[in-house]
């Protein structure tokens, strides 16, 4: 039965929402400005699109170290240290003289991943598996407000003050998040490892677990569909559908609303239904959404709602799948929650980064939106297959220990 260890005080859930949302803000607020950034630096859109994929790749790589470092040094000091690097790189991005300099800043902004990785570990430090899925669902539901409103605000800021203003907003809110974490996040890791090498040596234990692979690949392919949209969606919106940056931001709210609704349903029903059924249901919905969009464009309905309305189902599916997959990842070996969150998160975000590059590489005005939509569909189908594999492992080996 799930139980909260009485000796460990959990920080307020709003603190974890804000910590997690910091990376989401850095990821989403500048998206409507990508065409403007390309014009400002006279760079190809494919180069500017690296602002998405390099940020994701950096996030993936850093998670490999953030998780083990927190198992050794504690959640609190590692999160605060990473946020300091994030703030410095965001400030530098405002004054970027070249696109190359801006891309380096985006790589360093990946340190904001500490908010996501360590919030998961903090939750797993304080509750059991079933309750962890619910709390992660509520945390991601709250932080889903950021990708819902950030592109809207970013689009208007871009039109009024230029693309740099989106980084000014990120810097200001980053300072606020760091202050909140500093004052409310107590240390929840009271079973620290003796050395960092011990934590890295734990990776083979995780990689030998069939459950770890099932949950991680489910999360990776699920994220891949969404990150592919982040990489290719602005191009489709501006160059094919003719939307202004503010228009992209307004329509993007549909996807974020779907994601937030999925997170809410996860928080309500995961403990009752089980994480495997929730994951599979989300993947089915995401696949249906991508398929509907392909059909609408194939029939000639080139309208923003043909892209964004079905993508709301992709957001809903992600909201159902990801919190449950993450709860499974950090529960395979509870003693290694930080390392599992880091390794699983790295693989998840790495898959998303790769798929965002693929979707951007094949998009052109001549191709229409179809390369993006096919990547999203195939990724969602692959995620569903991995969820089914997880259900098979449960039947063979017994359910995940609570």
Cα-based torsion angle of the residue sequence 286, 360, 111, 43 in order, rounded to the nearest 10 degrees:
-150
pLDDT surpassing 50 at residue 146? yes
**How wide is the angle at C-alpha 56 spanned by C-alphas 52 and 59, nearest 5°?**
140
Name the one residue in this structure whose structure tokens are 């994030």: 86
List Cβ<8 Å contacts ≥24 apart for 74-79.
74/187, 74/189, 74/192, 75/118, 75/121, 75/122, 75/125, 75/185, 75/187, 75/188, 75/189, 75/338, 76/185, 76/186, 76/187, 78/114, 78/118, 79/19, 79/114, 79/115, 79/118, 79/181, 79/185
Per residue in 244-269, pLDDT tens? 877 887 888 888 888 888 888 887 77
Question: Residues 343, 134: contact at Cβ < 8 Å?
Answer: no
How many Cβ atoms from other residues are within 10 Å of residue 2's Cβ?
A: 12
Question: Within 13 Å and on the Cβ side, how many CA atoms surround 247?
Answer: 15
Averaged pLDDT, 185-202? 66
pLDDT at position 82: 93
Averaged pLDDT, 127-146? 67
pLDDT at position 198: 62
pLDDT at position 326: 81
pLDDT at position 189: 65
Element (H, E) at 212: helix 210-235
Region 13-187+200-397: CATH code: 1.20.1250.20
Averaged pLDDT, 265-290? 86
Indicate the DSSP class of residue 368: B
pLDDT at position 3: 45
Give dist(CA 254, CA 83) in Å, integer.
29
Would you place residue 117 in the very low, low, confident or very high pLDDT band (cuts 50, 70, 90)?
A: confident
Q: Show Cβ contacts of residue 67 under 8 Å, excluding neighbours closer than 6 positions.
A: 117, 118, 121, 199, 338, 339, 340, 341, 342, 343, 345
Per residue in 355-369, pLDDT tens? 777 777 777 788 888
* Structure-model confidence comparison of residues 63 and 313, the more confident one: 313
**How far is C-alpha 270 from the chain's CA centre?**
20
**Would you kindly state where each structural domain of the chain is located, as residue ranges?**
13-187+200-397
Averaged pLDDT, 124-136? 66
Residues in the chain: 402
Question: Residues 248, 32: contact at Cβ < 8 Å?
Answer: yes
Averaged pLDDT, 316-329? 86
């Amino acid at each position: 039965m799930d139980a909260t260890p009485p000796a460990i005080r959990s920080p307020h859930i709003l603190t974890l929402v804000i910590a997690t949302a910091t990376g989401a803000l850095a990821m989403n607020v500048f998206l409507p400005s990508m065409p403007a950034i390309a014009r400002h630096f006279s760079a190809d859109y494919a180069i500017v699109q690296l602002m998405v994929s390099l940020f994701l790749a950096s996030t993936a790589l850093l998670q490999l170290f953030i998780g083990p470092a927190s198992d050794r040094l504690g959640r609190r000091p590692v999160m605060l240290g990473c946020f300091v690097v994030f703030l410095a790189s965001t400030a530098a991005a405002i004054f970027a003289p070249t696109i190359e300099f801006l891309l380096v800043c985006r790589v360093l902004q990946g340190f904001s991943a500490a908010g996501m990785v360590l919030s998961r570990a903090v939750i797993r430090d304080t509750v059991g598996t079933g309750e962890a899925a619910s709390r992660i669902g509520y945390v991601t539901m709250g932080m889903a407000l950021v990708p819902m409103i950030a592109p809207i605000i970013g689009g208007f800021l871009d039109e009024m003050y230029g693309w740099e203003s989106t980084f000014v907003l990120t810097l200001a809110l980053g300072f606020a998040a760091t202050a909140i974490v500093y004052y409310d996040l107590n240390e929840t890791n009271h079973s620290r490892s003796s050395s960092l090498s011990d934590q890295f040596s734990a990776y083979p234990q995780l990689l030998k677990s069939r459950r770890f692979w099932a949950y991680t690949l489910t999360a990776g392919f699920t994220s891949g569909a969404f990150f592919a949209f982040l990489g290719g969606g602005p191009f489709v919106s501006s160059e094919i559908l003719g939307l202004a940056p503010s228009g992209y931001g307004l329509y993007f709210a549909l996807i974020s609303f779907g994601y937030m609704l999925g997170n809410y349903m996860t928080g309500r029903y995961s403990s009752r239904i089980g994480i495997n059924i929730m994951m599979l249901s989300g993947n089915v919905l995401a696949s249906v959404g991508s398929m509907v969009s392909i059909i609408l464009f194939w029939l000639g309905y080139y309208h923003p709602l043909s892209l964004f309305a079905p993508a709301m189902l992709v957001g809903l599916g992600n909201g159902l799948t990801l919190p449950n997959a993450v709860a499974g990842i950090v529960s395979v070996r509870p003693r290694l929650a930080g390392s599992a969150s880091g390794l699983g998160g790295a693989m998840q975000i790495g898959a998303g980064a790769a798929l965002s590059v693929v979707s951007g590489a094949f998009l052109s005005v001549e191709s229409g939106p179809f390369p993006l939509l096919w990547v999203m569909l195939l990724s969602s189908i692959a995620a569903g297959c991995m969820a089914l594999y997880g259900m098979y492992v449960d039947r063979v080996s017994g359910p995940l220990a609570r």
